[in-house]
Structure 1
Amino acid sequence: MNHTWVTVPVGSPFPLENLPYGVFTPAGGGARVGVAIGAHVLDLAAVLADDTFAHGSLNPFMAQGRARWQEVRAAVVRLLTDEAHRPDVEPHLHRLDAVELGMPFEPADYVDFYASEHHAANIGRMFRPGSDPLTPQWKHLPIGYHGRAGTLVPSGTPVVRPSGQQRPSGEGALPGFGPSVRLDIEAEVGFVVGTPSALGTPVPVDDFREHVFGVTLVNDWSARDIQNWEYVPLGPFLGKSFATSVGHWVVPLEALEEARVAPPAREHELRPYLVEKEDWGLDLTLEVRLNGHLVATLPFAAMYWTPAQMLAHMTVNGASLRTGDFYASGTVSGPGEDQRGSLMELSWGGAEPVELPDGTVRTFLEDGDEVTITATAPGAGGARIGFGPVTGRILPAA
């Protein structure tokens, strides 16, 4: 890729090789779609003379399909690399610190998966000691649950501590009720659907790039005590649905070609609909910070199920896709003790408190705590690209 005439600070997550999409509101203006480059965001409606981008959502653009996505990316690269365009383009670059960032897309449906073998095994060891940590179907299909799209919120939105029922303290006692005392994080990666599919028609695993527009970061906040009481027999509900934070920037799949890797080796044969001709494991490195302190570094390449397999499984029964559908990977965890993407794992269910560099100790989140998740990936030409942070601060229960 050519060099850009825009000044890109050293170490910026948004070099020319990235060009993630987001929604921004300039001072005195309305929300619109832009592309991040260095410390700026480019107003696409203005430089492309296309009203598709003059709205506060990526959905109209995503619905146009992959050929249009490629065309726009190529046009933006030309505008940012050819000095001849500079006089016309430069006035439409807005400093990121001078605009307000919002939710990049309008969510349709939301599905959350459970795709990390290390995370699933850790949870299994805690809850089912002495037995197989993985359930029998785990390596045959990507397990997931249907979440609540209405509580997807953009990065920076405060998270109010949820209240709900909790497991009774003893036999014959009523369930407890009150604010969650085991409030947790789940560091995840999310995938945004652009092109819809017809009801009754499964999406083949190798059509992943025809439907998924891009990738963002996710914190699927979890109230473990509420979840523990409610999840048998039907799974996550109120322990998850109070808030899920989504990053401001959606990195297009084309920016992640250099990040593609083979997933972990399979121990047995997969059903044909889950067999990929192309590898869609992704070599992303996530970092989790609690109150500014690094507590975990997570290897997304270790995820057992790939996003293409998740999409194929999500539609194999004929479920349709809509523009704005969103699905997340589930907690990203690796084999090391510092590679666990939730406090449930980092503190081993509260039995091993996490000591922070400032002397404070955490098992689960306290009011006022702020969690920030970032990620980087290899980009074209040896560049390192980033996703921008997803953050949230815990507020006391209502």
Structure 2
Amino acid sequence: MLLTVVPSRRIPKNSPFSLANIPFGIISSAKDTSRVAAIAIGDYALNLGIFASSGGFAQLPVIQPHLSVFSQPTLNAFAALGRPVHRQVRQYIQNIFSADTPFPQILKDNASLQKEALWPLSEVTNHVPMQIGDYTDFYAGLNHAYNVGVLFRGPENALQPNYKHLPVAYHSRASSVVASGTPIHRPNGQILANPTANPKIPTFSPCRKLDMELELAAFVSKPNELGRPVSINDAEDHIFGLVLMNDWSARDIQAWEYIPLGPFNAKNFATTITPWVVLLDALEPFRTTGLEPGDRDSLLPYLREKRAANVYDIPLEVEITNAGGKPTLVTKSNAKNLLYSFPQMLAHHTITGCNMNPGDLLGSGTISGTEPGSQGSLLEQTNGKNPLKLADGSDRMFLEDGDTIILRGKAGTEGNYVGFGDCAGTILPAIQLDF
């Protein structure tokens, strides 16, 4: 029966999808191409559409009026039910799969659940889990902001005067957010091939300085009305969960275009996220203090959190594999390297009365440490001058065609990991354009 396929003791010890996790996503398969909600557990995905229609939630009254949310092609409707419902659904599924389940008859007496609801992850197609209406990328990685500031302005002026007073951000492009595994074409655009030339005349070219950025991102669940900000004390209940995110960046296109209004084409061509949304309740055991306490006196009151432990201790890493080569671990960082929390980002985003909707995405900004090899972008690691050495002996200043980049992150201990799975993308050549 189903319970004997994935009891807690048979989940691989190194799986990011332990019983302590239960992340939510949207899946389909070659046999059933319709998109449906699911959770990941070990090497399997539990199809929640089948689970719900076959009586799997029979012992959870709170979800009974809302079973249709699990047959939707996105998680927006489920997310909009709110954190108390998410919590009960997650805990119920944990109980179902526990070795001493209080609901043995749910699985024992239901042939449909035993045969149809559990799909091997190897046979699953993952999709972007939510319909994203808006996507805002913050710049909350203090070490990254400082490192990049030093490169362009020197150490004396590395951080702008506003940086430690508010979460800096820009609006990016929701339509080009893709799920892990989606290939990424190198973008074309305007670049300044010779920055010292006078006059400065750009050329049109494929990006020559393609970079990655190691980030976390949060999905909004609970909306707020236009004109009514989200209080810092309530902000966490407006967040559905977190994913890993690679904010692909065309550094040479960015260098030419970003003055005076910031990134545009350098960031809008693709953003990759993990397809499984890890709920905040799953991350609760890993709360820790970020780079500075969340209630520091320099913040205005609307950004002051009641507790200093406002971020998460999640080890993060980045791996690069060139075409036909061996993987090289190039970055080891941690999610606690953030100056601002997601509740602070949301509170600041809405302080003007900006209304957020279920599915809106908030990126953290690049998460870099201070030690060598802990930087979340190649720009920082190489300083544009000192190339990385990959395992096959080749050098990388920036990404080359054929390179595959994988971001990973998981917290906890063996057998009880809470993680996101791979955030992967392979670089394809730029599309040739005829003018």
Pairwise CA distance, 1:86: 3.0
- The C-alpha deviation readout for 1:63-110, integer Å capped at 9, x for no partner, is 111222122112212322224333334321111001111111111100
- Cα distance change, pair 130–300 in 1 and its aligned pair in 2 (3 A): closer
Q: Is the 8 A contact 2:214 2:407 kept in 1?
A: yes
Question: 2:20 matched to 1:17?
Answer: yes
Where does residue 64 of structure 1 map in the other structure?
81
**In 2: Cα distance, 1:154 partner to 1:287 partner:** 18
**In 2: Cα distance, 1:308 partner to 1:209 partner:** 5
Which of 331, 348, 358 is residue 366 of structure 2 equivalent to? 331
**Equivalent position SS for 1:239:** coil
**Runs of 5+ in structure 2 lacking a partner?**
54-66, 322-326
**In 1: Cα distance, 2:7 partner to 2:387 partner:** 49
**Percent same amino acid at aligned positions?**
40
Where does residue 313 of structure 2 map in the other structure?
283
Question: 2:301 matched to 1:272?
Answer: yes
Q: Any residues of structure 2 matched to 1:188-267 within 5 Å, and which?
A: 188-265=215-292
Question: 2:47 matched to 1:43?
Answer: yes
**In 2: Cα distance, 1:264 partner to 1:168 partner:** 37
Pairwise CA distance, 1:175: 1.0
- Cα distance change, pair 90–277 in 1 and its aligned pair in 2 (3 A): farther
Question: 2:356 matched to 1:354?
Answer: no
Pairwise CA distance, 1:293: 1.2
- Cα distance change, pair 9–168 in 1 and its aligned pair in 2 (3 A): closer
- Cα distance change, pair 258–345 in 1 and its aligned pair in 2 (3 A): same
**Equivalent position SS for 1:90:** helix
Q: Is the 8 A contact 2:13 2:415 kept in 1?
A: no
**In 2: Cα distance, 1:299 partner to 1:64 partner:** 31
Q: Any residues of structure 2 matched to 1:171-182 within 5 Å, and which?
A: 171-182=198-209
Which of 370, 378, 401 is residue 343 of structure 1 equivalent to? 378
RMSD: 1.7
Pairwise CA distance, 1:384: 2.3
Q: Is the 8 A contact 1:20 1:249 kept in 2?
A: yes
Q: Is the 8 A contact 1:290 1:369 kept in 2?
A: yes
Pairwise CA distance, 1:36: 0.5
Pairwise CA distance, 1:173: 4.3
**In 1: Cα distance, 2:24 partner to 2:156 partner:** 45
One-letter identity of the residue aligned with 2:163: W
Q: Is the 8 A contact 1:114 1:143 kept in 2?
A: yes
Q: Is the 8 A contact 1:80 1:86 kept in 2?
A: no
Which of 382, 385, 388 is residue 421 of structure 2 equivalent to? 388
Where does residue 314 of structure 1 map in the other structure?
349
**In 2: Cα distance, 1:111 partner to 1:241 partner:** 12
Pairwise CA distance, 1:382: 8.5
Pairwise CA distance, 1:162: 0.6
**In 2: Cα distance, 1:386 partner to 1:154 partner:** 16
One-letter identity of the residue aligned with 2:332: T
Q: Is the 8 A contact 2:149 2:155 kept in 1?
A: no
One-letter identity of the residue aligned with 1:384: Y
**In 2: Cα distance, 1:193 partner to 1:90 partner:** 33
Pairwise CA distance, 1:168: 5.7
**Equivalent position SS for 2:346:** helix
- The C-alpha deviation readout for 1:356-380, integer Å capped at 9, x for no partner, is 121010000101111000001138x
One-letter identity of the residue aligned with 1:182: K
Q: Is the 8 A contact 1:256 1:378 kept in 2?
A: no
Where does residue 54 of structure 1 map in the other structure?
71
- The C-alpha deviation readout for 1:229-267, integer Å capped at 9, x for no partner, is 111110011100010001111001110111111222357
Pairwise CA distance, 1:268: 4.9
One-letter identity of the residue aligned with 1:109: D
Q: Is the 8 A contact 1:283 1:378 kept in 2?
A: no
**In 1: Cα distance, 2:291 partner to 2:68 partner:** 43
Question: 2:126 matched to 1:104?
Answer: no
- TM-score of the superposed pair, with normalisation by structure 1: 0.95
Count matched residues.
Answer: 394
**Equivalent position SS for 2:329:** strand
Q: Is the 8 A contact 1:183 1:221 kept in 2?
A: yes
Structure 1 stretch 104-113 or stretch 69-78: which is displaced more? 69-78
**In 2: Cα distance, 1:382 partner to 1:90 partner:** 24
**In 2: Cα distance, 1:10 partner to 1:173 partner:** 56
**Equivalent position SS for 1:205:** coil
One-letter identity of the residue aligned with 1:353: P
Where does residue 363 of structure 1 map in the other structure?
397
**In 2: Cα distance, 1:130 partner to 1:314 partner:** 29
Pairwise CA distance, 1:55: 2.2
